[in-house]
Amino acid sequence: MFVAFAAVVALAGGSSRFDMVQNVVLLPVGVLAAALAWTQTRGVDWRPLGWPLALLVLLALWIFLQLVPLPHSLWASLPGHSAPAAVDAALSLDPARPLTLSPERTLNDFFSLGVPIAAVLLFVALRRHAVGFAFTAVVAIATSNALLAVLQILSGGNRALYFYRLTSTGTPVGLFANPNHAAVLNTLVMVAVAVAIAIMPAEPKYRIRKIVLGAIYILLLLAAIAGTSRAGFLTALLAVLATCAIFSRPFLQRRVGSGGKKGRVVVGIGAIVLILLLGAFILTGRAPALEQLTGQDALGDIRFLVTPTLLEMIRSYFPFGSGFGTFQNVYYVAESSQMLMPRYLNNAHNDWLQLAIEGGLPALLLLVGLLTVLGREMLRLWRERAPSAVALVVGGGAGLLLVALASYVDYPLRTPIFQVVCVWLVCLLLTSARGPSHESDADHLSGFPNYSRHHMAVRN
């Protein structure tokens, strides 16, 4: 069930749009997988992953409450509802209406949460096999995404290699509809792969695994910097810096080879190769994202021009929000005449602000809760000072920063693939933080797990 779920998400979860035909398959699969996985979680220890699941359930509850019909007098008095209330008054209507200003799209978001909830429940249901399966799935999805992106480049934009009708044809989008989301996913998994290599024991039997993961790391890097995504280029640089930080500590350097001196040589050669690779792409003009980043109109991007309007929308709908999934429709109300153009904004391209617009104060409190849980567990790991714990903290912090920066200029977490990958990476981090032995868990992050030796806090 885990493998089937991961395959469906990879093939049908690359778009954030509510009207994609793939949702006809994806949403029912998410709800069904969540229900079936729940039946297999009896008797497990929920301590490592109880909070992520609880926060997702609370988010679903808040979305559900946005769909509950309210008396018209109460609904009309809500912040930001004066314009539609005036239309009702002009037509002499006073029906009960839900808080959300676009109920059908909020209902879609409610059922879409079945996908990330299913990801958590499947992870828990796998018990001692979860770490190996989840890491393997994350790496497999990212590798498929990168390979498909490379094929799209080599084919000259062959339409048969694109999964979505509304997509950036001619650019490397991989499994996604948006090249930014594809590139950022690759760089996020680069950090996860670097952590896995760093915390694997320095034993000969792990050498092949490290070589395979190293090759995957290079593939992900090439796919990220060879595309047109500025966010992907910047996050690739961040991922490389995080990788250097992960391997910079002497006790981590010793883990990548059979001895301290050999390990330092391997790390040094790897760093030089990465720097030369990036330099070669930049100097030969093979990094189109860099050209866009340094172009004359980079600061005139629509993402930044609409920021004052977005801030005004937050003030208009605070503290309850306009309803999840409503941004495209409510933006028409706030759009200034100066910003009118043939194209439209289907999302704010700033997920921090869009979350506040659609979800209001409750959504922001849930976000603070998630960041608090992650920060607490990373602090717990940091205090242990164990080699694998430090690598997990550096990797976890870099991954969190990477997603936060990407969400500032885009909306990667609104795509199901990205949601599932991030959920599994969070589960891996929290499980490692609460596991009985980080050193014994380290080799199972290689993606080629040996289940007989694995121990995990979520167990029978």
Q: What is the DSSP string of 341-354?
A: -SS--SS-S-HHHH
The Cα 402–Cα 238 span in angstroms is 7
DSSP letters for 155-213: TTS-GGG---SSS-TTS--TTSSSHHHHHHHHHHHHHHHHHHHHHS-S-GGGHHHHHHH
238 SS3 class: helix
167 touches 177 (CB < 8 A):
yes
b/e per residue 36-51 (b: at least 16 CB within 10 A): ebeeebeebeeebbeb
Angle between helical axes of 2-12 and 23-38 (0-180°, round to 10): 160
**Does a structural domain hold residue 308?**
no
The Cα 392–Cα 387 span in angstroms is 9
**Does a structural domain hold residue 122?**
yes
**Does a structural domain hold residue 10?**
yes
b/e per residue 276-290 (b: at least 16 CB within 10 A): eebeebeeeeebbbb
- What would the two tokens of residue 376 be? 């607490």
pTM: 0.86
- What would the two tokens of residue 152 be? 């799209």
If one counts the domains in the chain, the total is 1
302 touches 348 (CB < 8 A):
no
> By residue range, what is the domain housing residue 275?
2-67+104-297+348-453
**Does a structural domain hold residue 84?**
no
**Does a structural domain hold residue 59?**
yes
Long-range contacts, 211-214 (Cβ 8 Å, 24+): 213/139, 213/446, 213/447, 214/270
**Does a structural domain hold residue 78?**
no
> What is the full per-residue pLDDT of the chain (460 aa) written as tens digits?
999 999 999 999 999 999 899 999 999 999 999 999 999 988 777 777 888 999 999 999 999 999 999 999 999 999 999 888 999 899 988 889 999 999 999 999 999 999 999 999 999 999 889 999 999 999 999 999 999 998 998 888 788 889 888 887 888 899 999 999 999 999 999 999 999 988 887 777 788 898 899 999 989 998 888 777 788 888 988 998 898 888 876 545 445 444 455 555 555 556 666 666 666 555 555 555 545 554 444 444 677 788 899 999 999 999 999 999 999 999 988 888 877 777 778 888 899 999 999 999 999 999 999 999 999 989 888 887 777 888 899 999 999 999 999 999 899 999 999 999 999 999 999 988 765 433 344 444 444 333 333 333 333 3
Bond from prior residue into 319 cis (ω within 30 degrees of 0): yes
Q: What is residue 71's DSSP assignment?
A: -
Phi/psi for 70 (5° steps) reads -115, 150
